[in-house]
Amino acid sequence: MTPLNAKIQEVFSEPACGINQGKSEKERKKGCAKQLQPGGAAGGCAFDGAKIALQPFTDVAHLVHGPIACEGNSWDNRGARSSGSALWRTGFTTDMNETDIVFGGEKRLYKAIKEIGEKYDPAAIFVYQTCVPAMIGDDINVVCKAASEKFGRPVIPVNAPGFVGPKNLGNKLAGEALLDHVIGTAEPDYVTPYDINIIGEYNLAGELWQVKPLLDELGIRILSCISGDGKYQEAAYSHRAKAAMMVCSKAMINVARKMNERYEIPFFEGSFYGIGDTSEALREISRLLISRGAPEELMARTEALIAREEAKAYAAIVPFRYRLEGKRVLLITGGVKSWSVVAALQEAGLKIVGTSVKKSTKEDKERIKQIMGEVAHMIEDMTPREMYKMLREARADIMLSGGRSQFVALKAAMPWLDINQERHHAYMGYDGMVELVRQIEKSLYNPIWLQVRRPAPWDGEGRIAKLGMAMAAE
């Protein structure tokens, strides 16, 4: 078995994963990804997943070793934000050509690393493997090791070529790269009893900054965020944190679990989406920190902050209530968000007519039942055609989903809101949830809906039909 295959097996049998715990040994070996169906698949590859997980590190040069497609077709397409360097957004690729294919791409990769070091002086260079060099046998581990030694700068191999599996596997392989080469390689200047890691949070639309002030107020320091608005050094000394919060259970559970094993950093899975969940996450952070020796009084301060912020958030949502009462929401997203935003939406008077559970764990589904009752409309898999039909028949008033399905809603002339990675608004923490409700209200009550659903006053052949005339007269 190649080292990469061994890694993949290891990631597949992740013991801390909720789904895995319910599987037999044999099932686990098969892996967690459903077999992809040619001609019926959608979604990113492992390389995509690895890049999603690591690219938010702001002071790192992210170098994609492959032909132009992998970086040329995809760069600068992520909504993460940086408070410092813009280097993370720069597109670096070896842009392999036919000669590289024939003679191997390792030399070009090595030279590319050298050029980046000389021109951009990054804190580190992450090298992403892709299918073509994997096929021809380019060994990026060896090149990265040689380049690190020669140039005296961390050069980290990220071994997740697209064809080994889906995005989610790539997230985890990215985590493995951090565990193998980054975490624990540096020491912070100082530590405090209030140091935490946040794992699997990418600061999309700058949403981490909706939560950071709350932590700041409590005196809690984000020692390292993996990877939103993160710096290489921070990840390198993240093993000195006292506790960790794992934000997206599916993405980097292996990082949280192994850091727990290696460095005894306790972690919990939580979410900053939703008012109750934000409070719960803050409580859990404080609880873990106290268990690691932080003063007990932290909890009292946390509770006070929660009480204040919850009151403020609910008060801010109240004015929307009479406008949103009874409006029906179709929620097409995955995992945590399938339940974590539901409570806040219900608080605003919205009715959830369906939530997708395609990417949710057993626990996620339990949570949905708790929040929405046994009659919860859990949608296992909905084709775009079915979504379109549901909206067209007005069985929902608005759809919240990712960009992939936006045109299903818009072409049905129904309101739609982006709640996935390319969105422009930040929806985290207390402020974020109020913002989400505000955006829903803005979308539902935009006057365009009345006009865009109006049929043209002519028929298929362009003849002015009687019906059309009657409408025009109205």
Partner 1 sequence: MAIVSQVKKSCTVNPLKMSQPLGGALAFMGVCNTMPLLHGSQGCTSFGLVLLVRHFKEAIPLQTTAMSEVATVLGGYENVEQAILNIYKRTSPDLIGICSTGVTEIKGDDVDGFIKVFRKNHPDFINFPLIAVSTPDFSGAFQDGWEKTVTRIIETIAPMPSGRRAETRVNVLPGCHMTPGDLDALRQIFEDFGLEPSFLPDLSGSLDGHIPDDFTPTTLGGISVDEIGKMGRAVWTIAIGAQMRTAAEALERISNVPFRVFERLCGLVANDEFFAFLAEISGQPVPQKYRRQRSQLVDAMLDGHFHTGGCKLAIGAEPDLLFDVGSLLHDMGMELVAVVTTTASPVLDRLPTEEVLIGDLEDLESRAKVRGAEFLITNAHGRQMVARLKLPFFRIGLPIFDRLGAAHIVTVGYQGTRDLIFAIANMLIAHREVHHDVNQASWCPTMEQESL
Which residues ranging from 38 to 97 are in contact with partner 1 (CB under 8 A)?
Answer: 38-48, 63, 66-77, 86, 89-97
* Spatial CB neighbours of 190, under 8 Å, sequence gap ≥ 6: none
Q: Which is nearer to partner 1, 282 or 414 (CB)?
A: 414
Beta partners for residue 400, in sequence order:
331, 417
Q: Which is nearer to partner 1, 115 or 217 (CB)?
A: 115
SS3 398: strand
Kindly tell me which residue out of 132, 156, 205, 282 binds partner 1, with binding defined by CB under 8 A: 132
Cα 239 from chain centroid (whole Å): 22
User: Whole-number minimum distance, CB 95 to partner 1, in Å?
Assistant: 4
Q: Which is nearer to partner 1, 76 or 381 (CB)?
A: 76
Q: Which is nearer to partner 1, 24 or 73 (CB)?
A: 73
Orientation angle between helical segments 297-324 and 275-291, nearest 10 degrees = 170
Question: Which among 287, 178, 276 has a CA at the least distance from the CA of 232?
Answer: 178
Chain residues 136-155 in contact with partner 1, contact rule CB under 8 A: 136
* Spatial CB neighbours of 133, under 8 Å, sequence gap ≥ 6: 65, 66, 96, 105, 109, 140, 161
CB atoms within 10 A of CB 455: 10
- In whole angstroms, give the CA distance from residue 124 to residue 109: 15
Q: Which is nearer to partner 1, 19 or 101 (CB)?
A: 101
Q: Is 186 in the site for partner 1 (CB under 8 A)?
A: no
Residues in contact with partner 1, counted by CB under 8 A, come to a total of 71
Question: Which among 56, 209, 202 has a CA at the least distance from the CA of 126?
Answer: 56
- In whole angstroms, give the CA distance from residue 295 to residue 297: 5
State the residue for tokens 């990418």. Answer: 202
User: Whole-number minimum distance, CB 85 to partner 1, in Å?
Assistant: 12
End-to-end alpha carbon distance in the chain: 74
Q: Which is nearer to partner 1, 48 or 347 (CB)?
A: 48
- State phi, psi for 219 to the nearest 5 degrees: 80, 15
User: Whole-number minimum distance, CB 463 to partner 1, in Å?
Assistant: 17
User: Whole-number minimum distance, CB 96 to partner 1, in Å?
Assistant: 5
- In whole angstroms, give the CA distance from residue 160 to residue 455: 50
User: Whole-number minimum distance, CB 90 to partner 1, in Å?
Assistant: 6
Q: What angle do CA 151, 152, 154 make, to 5 degrees?
A: 100
Question: Which among 138, 135, 132, 185 has a CA at the least distance from the CA of 157?
Answer: 138
* Spatial CB neighbours of 358, under 8 Å, sequence gap ≥ 6: 334, 379, 380, 381
Chain residues 204-263 in contact with partner 1, contact rule CB under 8 A: none
Kindly tell me which residue out of 17, 127, 134, 342 binds partner 1, with binding defined by CB under 8 A: 134
User: Whole-number minimum distance, CB 164 to partner 1, in Å?
Assistant: 5
Q: Which is nearer to partner 1, 194 or 202 (CB)?
A: 202
Whole-number CA gyration radius for the chain: 24
User: Whole-number minimum distance, CB 346 to partner 1, in Å?
Assistant: 30
Q: Which is nearer to partner 1, 322 or 463 (CB)?
A: 463
Instruction: Calculate the dihedral angle through the C-alpha atoms of 465, 469, 470, 474, rounding to the nearest 10 degrees.
Output: 150
Segment contacting partner 1 (CB under 8 A): 110-118, 302-310, 337-345, 368-376? 110-118
CB atoms within 10 A of CB 76: 8
Q: Which is nearer to partner 1, 89 or 321 (CB)?
A: 89
Chain residues 422-461 in contact with partner 1, contact rule CB under 8 A: 422
User: Whole-number minimum distance, CB 143 to partner 1, in Å?
Assistant: 12
Burial 280-300 (b: 16+ CB within 10 A, else e): bbbbbbbbbbbebebeeebee
User: Whole-number minimum distance, CB 330 to partner 1, in Å?
Assistant: 15
Kindly tell me which residue out of 32, 52, 53, 116 binds partner 1, with binding defined by CB under 8 A: 116
Chain residues 157-176 in contact with partner 1, contact rule CB under 8 A: 161-166
Orientation angle between helical segments 208-218 and 275-291, nearest 10 degrees = 40
**Contact letters for partner 1, residues 373-412 (x by CB under 8 A):** -----------xx--xx-------------xx--xx--xx
User: Whole-number minimum distance, CB 425 to partner 1, in Å?
Assistant: 16
Q: Which is nearer to partner 1, 266 or 384 (CB)?
A: 384
Q: Which is nearer to partner 1, 72 or 295 (CB)?
A: 72
User: Whole-number minimum distance, CB 127 to partner 1, in Å?
Assistant: 11
SS3 226: strand
SS3 308: helix
Kindly tell me which residue out of 16, 413, 449, 465 binds partner 1, with binding defined by CB under 8 A: 413
Q: Which is nearer to partner 1, 98 or 381 (CB)?
A: 98
User: Whole-number minimum distance, CB 35 to partner 1, in Å?
Assistant: 9
